[in-house]
Amino acid sequence: LGITYNVRTIRKTLAEIDSEGQLLPDGTFLVGGQAVAVVYFRAGYAPTDYPSESEWRARLLMEQSSAIKCPSISYHLAGTKKIQQELAKPNVLEKFLESKEDIAKLRKCFAGLWSLVDSDITKKAIEKPELFVMKPQREGGGNNIYGDDVKETLLRLQKEGSEEDAAYILMQRIFPAVSPTFLIRDSICHKDHAISELGVYSAYLRNKESVIMNDQCGYLMRTKVSSSNEGGVAAGFAVLDRHSAWQIMVLVILKHREELF
């Protein structure tokens, strides 16, 4: 990055930031005596990233600074399952959107999200675990619970009677369309059934209440075999699919060609 754009970058652990970081009265964030403009979190998304109070102090120091955080603590929390569950509750979207039409469109896209304190949903999930996904407050692949494991986990939590159930939510399982696909690995072609997911990137930047940027700026298509519960690319469960992405982009352009041209 530094060679290409002449932007200097430094990589520090949270513990190192606690030791070397400094916050000036005007909000400037210093590391090793140098002012930091942007803080990009490569870590800090899992409980294991905060093994001591040192890491928490570092996070608080950065959040209190005027440096741009990517993500900010509010955006970070918006990605947790508990916050998503709260946003799906009645009369919550109305706090953020004025248009009833936009609110209705958003709600139509929501999957069911429930707390484990909902005994009726918990009972239904035990009886028909294939209809649900059990999710912890974690990012990345390999953390969700599916199938009979949902039933076994719920029964274990009920038996233990601990507060561990607060770390999970139940989500309605989505069953996307399945398509026959040719997959190539190590120059060997395999035919299998696969499902794809289209993700849209966005850029959002604000200064307190003033929104500076809020734009769509790209997309990603990933494909995995339909028998896999997980879907992360970095975790090795899915692959990036440029061909499918271009097909969708072409279809979108054809559909809206009159508006575009």
What does the pLDDT look like over 33-52, one tens digit per residue?
A: 999 999 999 989 888 899 99
Domains for the chain: give ranges and CATH numbers.
14-79 (3.40.50.1760), 83-172 (3.30.1490.50), 179-241 (3.30.470.20)
Which regions of 49-101 does DSSP assign to beta strands (E)? 68-70
pLDDT band of residue 261 (cuts 50, 70, 90) is: very low
The rounded distance, in Å, linking the Cα atoms of 245 and 220 is 7
The fraction of the chain above a pLDDT of 90, given in percent, is: 36
Closest CA to 248 of 184, 179, 175, 174: 179
Which DSSP letter does residue 150 get? H
Q: What is the mean pLDDT of residues 71-98?
A: 86
Contact 191, 180 (CB under 8 A): yes
pLDDT at res. 228: 82
Instruction: Check residue 187 and give its pLDDT.
Output: 83
Helices 148-160 and 119-127: angle between axes, nearest 10 degrees: 140
| Helix or strand run (H / E) with residue 161 | none
Alpha-carbon gap, residue 195 to 221, rounded angstroms: 11
